[in-house]
A and B are shown apart, each in its own frame.
Chain A
């Protein structure tokens, strides 16, 4: 019995020491202390393999894609399109045509707003979001409000930071044109049980967009199993380069959507009278793309898959439990966002000490966390606080680092008395 337990343990446990050796940036001191990086929800760090894949590409294979007959252009095109296949497999999309490269989650949401919703939108049509959205899943819809009179409806959250499913069922209706939901909240860590929301949306014939920016680095995502129509994510939060992201969209929907930017690469032929647009997914990729970004992202996915998303999720959950337990024990510390199902994010306030001061004092102890509104000001308003301090963990973090966070918080208390 004991042996069996040990065996399963070792099959799932991560060799975190070895993993940490893959991340060069973690091995430095900040303000004279070993760096503790707990700002992964803002942006993760990159393993050597990703950094090297990008350098290798620039050192050996770079040329423009889809253009030249020469060898380098062929190699660059193969690597770029190969990356698309890696991403398709990672999220289990049916077809690489459904994988559109964009700059990040923000651009993906804007693309859907302008190219999917805007044409054919009638004033008074509704978009349904939740109260825990990142600004990236609020502002693009507000622009539509200015442009075509869209009505933005907001599903409330409760004190734990859980999206109210009953209210959602009341809010969805015949004028709802899209349900746009965070899969995981960046400010609170709430994992939204999107499956049941999608099921109801489907009954109403309402398409669903998921903002997966915080979900995809931490859990396995299967877009077909989810049944969502669009899924948006950013490479820089999942070990990949910045300036790179993905819009997954169901092929039928993408086919019917007009291009959203014009230029090279998104056309088949151009004359001054008539332009024929390229096929999917290139129809949405005007101009020279971020080739190295796609290659870096695919390499990041290889790295994540080598470890295994399930093991990552399990380990991060252990870290979350440990951090929650240690932080809750600190006098005057209040955790903001206590949903039963959470990603490894702990947002908190300390009685009488502003998060900004916490951030500065922690930094002098080498501990990097995020303080502020986390681009989710409506969430702060809901909890009637101006800001929180947020520690967000990744699989390369350790319990010892959480201990360092706790010690630094005790020190904060001393400094500000």
Chain B
């Protein structure tokens, strides 16, 4: 287990200077994510145009891994379609959990910096919280709007 593998420079940088941090107002969709084990709390916001994510931001507090992961996520998903985001999430999930993950590094871009997390199983949830939360927000968008 090499610590430098987990806390790569990209991760440390995105933790200290998270990108797209703050509230998106107004936001088409948003969802709260909570990891009760460590107390991480994130809110993911997104604006959509048809299937495309036109803007995404996040706020909250958490460990370096969860903050950096959320920051990297916002950079990665902007401009992508919902189904592209889903594929990307599958790739990230494979990267976080499987040693022999057959994911194309080119597709992952900077997200590849998260590969060290798989050596620290206790931290996988930290890195995936933002993805689950974004998913929830996007799925909510697919739900019929209630008219109460």
Contact = CB atoms under 8 A, between A and B. Distances in A.
Closest 9 CB pairs of A and B: A386-B39, A354-B63, A356-B63, A387-B39, A356-B38, A357-B64, A357-B63, A364-B3, A415-B7
A31 interface: yes
Interface in A370-417: 371-373, 380, 385-387, 415-417
Interface residues of B, number: 23
A373 B39 CA distance: 7
Interface of B: 1, 3, 6-7, 12, 15-16, 36-41, 61-65, 67, 120, 122-123, 126
Nearest to A411: B3
A372 B3 contact: no
A300 to B, nearest CB: 29
A355 B122 CA distance: 13
A387 B64 contact: no
Contact of A386 (B1, B15, B40): B40
Contacts of B61: 354, 386
B54 to A, nearest CB: 31
A407 to B, nearest CB: 14
A219 interface: no
Contacts of A353: 64
Given A356-B63, A416-B15, A416-B64, A387 B7 contact: no
Given A360-B120, A416-B64, A417-B12, A372 B6 contact: no
Nearest to A387: B39
Nearest to B41: A386
B38 A387 contact: yes
Nearest to A361: B3
Given A357-B63, A415-B7, A417-B12, A371 B38 contact: yes
A415 B41 contact: no
Contact of A364 (B1, B39, B64): B1
Contacts of B1: 31, 364
Given A31-B1, A415-B3, A416-B64, A360 B123 contact: yes
A417 B64 contact: no
Contact of B38 (A31, A386, A415): A386
Contacts of A364: 1, 3
Contacts of B122: 360
Contacts of A361: 3, 7
Contacts of A357: 7, 63-65
Contacts of A373: 36, 39
Interface residues of A, number: 19
B16 A354 contact: no
A372 B126 CA distance: 13
A380 B7 contact: no
Nearest to A364: B3
Given A356-B123, A417-B16, 4 more contacts: A372-B39, A386-B62, A415-B7, A416-B7
A53 B40 CA distance: 42
Interface in A66-85: none
Contacts of A360: 3, 6, 120, 122-123
A139 to B, nearest CB: 14
B1 to A, nearest CB: 6
Contacts of B6: 360
Contacts of A354: 38, 40, 61-64, 67
Interface in A192-225: none
A321 B63 CA distance: 29
A349 to B, nearest CB: 11
10 contacts: A354-B40, A354-B61, A354-B63, A354-B67, A357-B63, A361-B3, A386-B38, A386-B39, A386-B40, A415-B12
Interface in A318-377: 353-357, 360-361, 364, 371-373
A417 B13 CA distance: 9
Contacts of B63: 354-357
B26 to A, nearest CB: 28
A214 to B, nearest CB: 21
A158 to B, nearest CB: 22
A379 to B, nearest CB: 12
A68 B65 CA distance: 58
Interface string A254-283: 000000000000000000000000000000
